[in-house]
């Protein structure tokens, strides 16, 4: 947003992986402002991208979430000396399964909403962490929010929010749940809350959700 208010505006948002060689989905300075701000753009020429529902292995309708798959001349041929990993990542017809969850609109713009492994499966209902995290991050007392799934005997997984509060701020579970009312479907509202400023992160600052899930399951309050 800040860059778009400058005269040059020469900033583009993109999505890519090492397996896709480079940024494979990119915005253009000619795209509408809302597309530049809220999406990662459209696939580059020559790259075929589709959104696939992993449980059914068929393409999701526009506006619906699924795993981002890509096929084209820029897609890698496989992992060196690792045939098994290559088979897991590639389809027989040459699509690379990115492991990222995205949504494509009717104009071909893609929005990335989560990592597939981070999606919470609550009794068959899919909860995409980014949607919930973004809502909690608008609360005046919250500095960071990370949504994870924790084991639940009846539902398989239950939604848990790992909350980092701003200095000298206090908040209750009830207040945070109230913040969600009318903005989230009931099944997306976390049942559990962990308040801990020590978020497991990689050296470059990326949250380690697998470690967070492990620590959460060891929490006797859950």
Q: What is the DSSP letter of 90?
A: B
Residue 222 lies in a domain: no
* The predicted structure's pLDDT at residue 21: 85
* The predicted structure's pLDDT at residue 73: 93
Specify the CATH number for the domain of residue 26. 2.30.38.10
Which of the listed residues 113, 138, 173 is the one where a domain comes to its end? 113
Whether the per-residue pLDDT at 35 is higher than 90: the answer is: yes
For 19-23, 141-145, 162-166, which range has the lowest pLDDT when averaged over its residues?
19-23
Q: How many domains does the chain have?
A: 2
Q: Domain range spanning residue 99?
A: 3-113
Instruction: Choose among 127, 211, 138, 218: nearest CA to 180.
Output: 138
Q: CA 115, 50, 59: angle at the middle one, nearest 5? A: 95
3 band by pLDDT with thresholds 50, 70 and 90:
low
Q: What is the DSSP letter of 126?
A: E
Q: Helices (DSSP H) in 98-144: which residue ranges?
A: 129-136
pLDDT digits (tens, 9 = 90+) for 82-135: 999 999 999 999 999 999 999 999 999 999 999 999 999 999 999 999 999 999
Do 95 and 156 belong to one domain? Answer: no
* The predicted structure's pLDDT at residue 215: 93
Backbone angles phi, psi at 28, to 5 degrees: -120, 150
Residues 6+ apart with CB under 8 A from 174: none
* The predicted structure's pLDDT at residue 1: 66
User: How confident is the prediction for the chain on average, in pLDDT?
Assistant: 92
Q: What is the pTM of this model?
A: 0.77
Do 126 and 104 belong to one domain? Answer: no
Percent of the chain with pLDDT strictly greater than 90: 82
Are 195 and 166 a contacting pair, CB within 8 Å? no
Percent of the chain with pLDDT strictly greater than 70: 95
* The predicted structure's pLDDT at residue 221: 67
């Amino acid at each position: 947003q800040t860059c778009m208010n400058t005269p040059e505006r020469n900033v583009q948002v993109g999505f890519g992986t090492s397996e896709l060689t480079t940024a494979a989905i990119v915005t253009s300075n000619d795209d509408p402002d809302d597309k530049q701000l809220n999406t990662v753009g459209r696939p580059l020429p020559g790259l075929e991208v589709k959104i696939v529902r992993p449980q059914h292995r068929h393409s999701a309708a526009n506006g619906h979430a699924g795993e981002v798959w890509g096929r084209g001349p820029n897609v890698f041929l496989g992992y060196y000396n690792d045939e098994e990993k290559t088979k897991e990542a590639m389809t027989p017809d040459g699509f690379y399964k990115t492991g990222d969850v995205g949504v494509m609109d009717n104009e071909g713009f893609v929005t990335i909403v989560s990592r597939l492994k981070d999606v919470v499966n609550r009794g068959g209902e899919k909860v995409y962490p980014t949607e919930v995290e973004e809502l909690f991050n608008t609360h005046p007392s919250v500095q960071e929010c990370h949504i994870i799934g924790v084991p639940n005997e009846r539902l398989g997984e239950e939604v848990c929010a790992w909350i980092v509060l701003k200095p000298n701020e206090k908040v209750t579970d009830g207040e945070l749940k109230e913040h969600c009312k009318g903005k989230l479907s009931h099944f997306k509202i976390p049942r559990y809350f962990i308040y801990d400023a020590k978020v497991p992160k990689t050296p470059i600052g990326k949250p380690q959700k697998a470690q967070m899930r492990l620590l959460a399951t060891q929490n006797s309050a859950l």
